Chain A
Amino acid sequence: MSEILDLNLVEATEALKHKKISSLELTKAYLKSISDTLSLGAYLEIVEDKAISMAKESDKKLMNGTARPLEGIPLGIKDMFCTKDIKTTASSKILENFIPTYESTVTQNLWNDGAVILGKLSCDEFAMGSSNETAAKGNVINPWLKNKKMSPGGSSGGSAAAVAARSALAATGTDTGGSIRQPAAFCGITGLKPTYGRCSRWGIVAFSSSLDQAGPLTRTVSDAALMLNSMAGYDQKDSTSANLKMPDLMDYLDKGIKEKKIGIPKEYTQDGISEDIVKFYEKSIDWLKDEGAEIISVSLPHTKYALPAYYIIAPAEASSNLARYDGVRYGIRQEASSLDEMYELTRGNGFGDEVKRRIMIGTYVLSSGYYDAYYLKAQKVRRLIKEDFENVYKKVDYILTPSTPTTSFELGKKQDPLTMYLNDIFTVPASLAGLPGISLPVGLDNSGLPIGIQLIANSFDEPGLISTARVLEKNAGFNFIADGAAK
Chain B
Amino acid sequence: MPNKDKIVDVPTVNKIARLCRLDIPEANKENLTNDLNNILGFVAQLDEVNTSNVEPLASVTGHKLPLRSDFVNDGNIEDLVLKNAPENSSGFFVVPKVIE
Interface residues of A (CB under 8 A from B): 97-99, 101-102, 196-197, 210, 236, 239-240, 242-243, 302, 304-305, 307-309, 311-312, 319, 323, 326-333, 335-345, 347-349, 351, 356-357, 359-364, 367, 373-374, 376-384, 386, 416-418, 421, 432-434, 459
By the criterion CB–CB under 8 Å, are A332 and B86 in contact? Answer: yes
CB proximity of B71 to chain A, nearest CB, Å: 14
By a beta-carbon cutoff of 8 Å, the part of chain B in contact with chain A is 1-2, 8, 13, 16-17, 19-25, 32, 35-36, 38-40, 42-49, 51, 54-61, 63, 65-66, 68, 77, 80-81, 83-87, 93, 95-96, 98
Contacts A380-B51, A384-B51: A328 and B57 contacting too (C-beta < 8 A)? no
Q: A348-B22, A357-B32, A384-B49 are in contact. List 4 more A-B contacts (CB 8 A).
A: A327-B86, A347-B21, A364-B8, A373-B1
Distance between Cα atoms of A307 and B54 in the complex (Å):
19
Contact B57 A379 (CB under 8 A): yes
**Closest CB-CB distance, A111 to chain B, in whole Å?**
19
Q: Which residues of A contact B49 (CB under 8 A)?
A: 302, 305, 380-381, 384
* B94, closest chain A residue (CB): A328
Asked whether, in the complex, the Cβ of B24 is within 8 Å of the Cβ of A386, the reply is no
Given contacts A360-B20, A380-B51, A380-B57, contact A418 B1 (CB under 8 A): no
Q: How many Å lie between the Cα of A318 and that of B68 in the bound state? A: 27
Given the interface pairs A347-B22, A384-B54, the reply to whether A99 lies near B84 with Cβ below 8 Å is yes
User: Are B21 and A361 closer than 8 Å at their CB atoms?
Assistant: no
A344 to B20, CA, bound (A): 8
- A196 and B38 in contact, given A99-B84, A330-B84, A333-B86 (Cβ under 8 angstroms): no
B5 to chain A, nearest CB (A): 15
| Known contacts A99-B84, A210-B60, A331-B84: A344-B36 contact under CB 8 Å | no
CB neighbours of A364 from chain B (8 A): 8, 16, 36, 40
**Most B-side CB within 10 Å, residue of A236, A363, A386:** A363
B60→A196 contact, CB < 8 A: yes
| Smallest CB separation, B17 vs chain A (Å) | 7
Question: Nearest B residue to A384 by beta-carbon distance?
Answer: B54
Partner of B54, one of A240, A360, A383, A434: A383
Q: Contact: A329 with B95, CB < 8 Å?
A: no
Q: How far is the CA of A336 from the CA of B98 in the complex (A)?
A: 12
A196–B38 CA distance with the chains assembled, in angstroms: 30
Write the chain B residue with the least CB distance to A382.
B57
Is A345 touching B46 in the complex (CB atoms < 8 A)?
no
Show 19 residue pairs from A and B whose CB-CB distance is below 8 angstroms, ordered by the A residue: A102-B80, A210-B58, A210-B59, A210-B60, A239-B65, A305-B46, A328-B86, A331-B86, A333-B87, A342-B96, A348-B22, A356-B22, A356-B32, A359-B22, A367-B19, A377-B46, A380-B49, A380-B51, A417-B35
Chain B residues with CB under 8 Å of A330's CB are 84-85
Q: Which of B23, B36, B45, B60 has the most CB of A within 10 A?
A: B60
Are A357 and B85 also in contact (CB < 8 A) when A210-B58, A210-B59, A210-B60 are?
A: no
Across the interface, do A434 and B42 meet the contact criterion of CB distance under 8 Å?
no
The chain B residue sitting closest to A360, CB to CB, is B16
- Chain B residue numbers with a CB within 8 Å of A362 are 20
Q: Which residues of A contact B60 (CB under 8 A)?
A: 196, 210, 386, 432-434, 459
Q: A236 contacts B68, CB within 8 Å?
A: yes
Contacts of A376 in B (CB 8 A): 56
B58 to chain A, nearest CB (A): 6
The answer to whether A360 and B13 touch (CB under 8 A), given A309-B46, A347-B21, is yes
* Chain B residue nearest to A196 in the complex (CB): B60
| Cα–Cα, bound, A380→B55 (Å) | 6
| A312 and B43 in contact, given A360-B13, A360-B17 (Cβ under 8 angstroms) | yes
